[in-house]
Amino acid sequence: MIFIDSDVFLVDLRYTRDRRHADNARFLRRIRNRGDGFITVFNLLEVCGVLSFNLNPRQLRELYAHLPARYRIRVVPSHEPHVALPRLTAGVVLKVMERRASLGDAQVVAVLQAMEPRPDQVVTWNTTHFHGRIGAPVVTPLEVVERM
């Protein structure tokens, strides 16, 4: 299973003029075709939060509901609106933050560290945010595309 960070979806959905957009889109097509990608519910909420400034409430809820199907990815643990967010103690999040992490990244890392099995790979444009934290290789979408 391949964990995909929020930034990959934001490049696709919001930053279409970004120089990385074409490589990003090729990576996401690969994920769609294989169906082996996933994000955490925190990532899904982050994408929704960034895009919320340009969406009305109906569009925001539709984005939340349909983004997983659009990219053929899973959401861990779930993206059902009535399911509680993963329980993380402040101590667990602080432990991740000790190695320099924002709240959002620390929450995601904590969820990934608690997963069994852990991801096979972490894909992000911000590799320094995850390098050495998950126990899986951390690569960019471009690196994945170049290996295809």
How many whole angstroms separate alpha carbon 22 and alpha carbon 10? 13
Q: Which residue pairs, CB below 8 angstroms and at least 24 apart, start in 43-49? A: 43/4, 43/5, 43/6, 43/9, 43/108, 44/68, 44/75, 44/79, 46/6, 46/104, 47/6, 47/9, 47/10, 47/13
**Domains of the chain, with CATH numbers?**
2-147 (3.40.50.1010)
pLDDT tens digits along 54-94 = 999 999 999 999 999 999 999 999 888 888 888 889 999 99
Is the pLDDT confidence value at 124 over 80?
Answer: yes
| pLDDT recorded at residue 83 | 84
Is the pLDDT confidence value at 39 over 90?
Answer: yes
pLDDT tier at 139 (50, 70, 90 boundaries)? very high
What angle do the packed helices 57-71 and 41-51 form, to 10 degrees? 130
How many whole angstroms separate alpha carbon 117 and alpha carbon 131? 18
Q: Kindly state the average pLDDT of the residues 128-135.
A: 91
First to last CA, the chain: 16
Is the pLDDT confidence value at 148 over 80?
Answer: no
- For 132, the token pair is 């050495």
Residues facing residue 4 across a β-bridge: 123
Share of the chain above pLDDT 90, in %: 81
Taking the whole predicted model, whether its pTM rises above 0.75 is answered as yes
Q: What is the DSSP letter of 116?
A: S
What rounded mean pLDDT belongs to the chain? 94
How many whole angstroms separate alpha carbon 135 and alpha carbon 113? 8
| pLDDT recorded at residue 84 | 83
Is the pLDDT confidence value at 30 over 90?
Answer: yes
pLDDT tier at 115 (50, 70, 90 boundaries)? confident
Cβ atoms < 10 Å from Cβ of 135:
10
Which of 18, 21, 41 has the alpha carbon at shortest distance from 29? 21
How buried is 46 (Cβ within 10 angstroms: 0-12 exposed, 13-18 middle, 19+ buried)?
buried
pLDDT tens digits along 7-18 = 999 999 999 999
